[in-house]
Amino acid sequence: MRIGIVLIVGCALATSAAAQDTAPRAPARQATIRRFLEITGAAQLSVTAMETMLPAQRAANPQIPAVFWDVFMARARRDVHQLIDSLIPVYAEHFTHAQMEEMVRFYESPLGRHLVRVQPRVTQRSMELGQRWGELLGQQVAESLMQAGVRGPQ
């Protein structure tokens, strides 16, 4: 009984604290999150990720005209701010204003600025390696299933 009361009071206090963190400082919190997304290069990282995946999408969908992909990427580059706007509530849900301010301080530091500079290349290279690894893994699974006599859909 006593544990139940402690849990209820604890949940009420946590809910109250969360509400206090989001309500009065919402504009400042949103501005901090926007600053974080700006200094981390979130928009450029998103576009780079899309550009990296585009050749695989083109190959997987040869029936789609090349002009579609060109216009798609042009529009993605132009409208990436819409994605950034949609990320603000996600960060607000998972980080307090104080945490976001601390992350901004890190990304404004020399190490944080270095991370921002190299992150697009790291992301692109990681995605390329992940794609190659996935292809290799797929080949290995297909070979092992064939050796086991498992046949795919006919």
* CA–CA dist 87, 98 (Å, integer): 18
Least confident of 15-19, 26-30, 79-83, 121-125: 15-19
Q: Any residues with CB less than 8 A from the CB of 35 and at least 6 apart, and which?
A: 104
**The pair of three-digit structure tokens given for residue 93, joined into one six-digit string:** 């849900």
Give one DSSP letter per residue of 19-38, joined into a string.
HHHHSTTHHHHHHHHHHHHH
Q: Kindly state the helix (H) or strand (E) to which residue 118 belongs, with its residue range.
A: helix 110-147
Residue ranges of E strands in 96-151: none
CB 92 within 8 A of CB 22: yes
Domain assignment present for residue 16? The answer is: no
pLDDT of residue 15: 45
Domain assignment present for residue 119? The answer is: yes
Place 139 in a pLDDT band, splitting at 50, 70 and 90.
very high
Domain with 139 in it: 25-144
pLDDT of residue 25: 56
Domain assignment present for residue 12? The answer is: no
Residue 65, sorted as left (phi over 0), alpha (psi -120 to 50) or beta, turns out to be beta
Domain assignment present for residue 2? The answer is: no
- pLDDT, one tens digit per residue, over 38-87 is 999 899 888 988 898 899 899 999 999 999 999 999 999 999 999 999 99
Domain assignment present for residue 125? The answer is: yes
pLDDT of residue 107: 96
Domain assignment present for residue 11? The answer is: no
Number of compact structural domains in the chain? 1
Average pLDDT, rounded, for the chain: 84
pLDDT at 104 over 60: yes
pLDDT at 152 over 90: no
Domain assignment present for residue 151? The answer is: no
- pLDDT, one tens digit per residue, over 78-96 is 999 999 999 999 999 999 9
Instruction: Work out the number of other CB atoms within 10 angstroms of the CB of residue 35.
Output: 16
Domain assignment present for residue 108? The answer is: yes
Instruction: Work out the number of other CB atoms within 10 angstroms of the CB of residue 20.
Output: 10
